[in-house]
Amino acid sequence: MIDIESKIVDTIYNAVTANDAYPNADVTTGFDEKTAVFPCVVVEEVNNAPYRRMNTDDCAENYARLTYEVSVYTNNANSAKTTGKAILNLVDTALQGLKFRRIHRNKPLNIARTIFRQYGRWEVVVSKPIIRTDIVDGNPVETTVYQMYRR
């Protein structure tokens, strides 16, 4: 199974917290309304399936089709819609930079009396890790890279 979750979470964290309006946003992989810091951005991999068109004859997984769901939780009734949309726009820009394609975005949902949720889903086809060796200052340095494709 191809796993790029930490790369995706880091990318979204950097995109959201670099914005002056959300430097203290919580970007995580799970939501607990009792301990959440708002706004809270939850990143979940909801599908990781082999991309069969790119498998070898012996069914080795060379590529996977991944789907990520990103939820934005806010607790300010006056700005819930605006804040959620603004953060999802930052996420969308960051993920499109990684060749993700947005496949869904919803309207705000009131999940509790004072907590509002908006979410979107993005999809990408990604290769298995490729280890690249570069020479830096005369020393070999290995870097793990992934090829990503819009589906």
CATH code for the domain in which residue 105 is found: 3.30.2000
Contact between 65 and 151 under an 8 Å Cβ cutoff? The reply is yes
Contact between 54 and 128 under an 8 Å Cβ cutoff? The reply is no
Whole-number pLDDT of residue 56: 64
CA distance 42 to 25: 11
Task: Give the sign of the dihedral formed by CA 34, CA 8, CA 104, CA 93.
Answer: positive
What's CA 137's distance to the chain center, in Å? Answer: 34
Query: How many domains is the chain partitioned into structurally?
Result: 1
Whole-number pLDDT of residue 55: 63
Q: Which residues pair with 44 in a beta bridge?
A: 69
pTM for this entry: 0.86
Contact between 141 and 79 under an 8 Å Cβ cutoff? The reply is no
> Which residues, other chains included, contact 151 with Cβ-Cβ below 8 Å and sequence gap of 6+?
65, 101, 123, 124, 125
Domain that holds residue 73: 5-149
In the chain (151 residues long), the average pLDDT of successive 10-residue segments reads 94 97 95 86 95 69 92 89 94 96 86 86 92 88 82 65
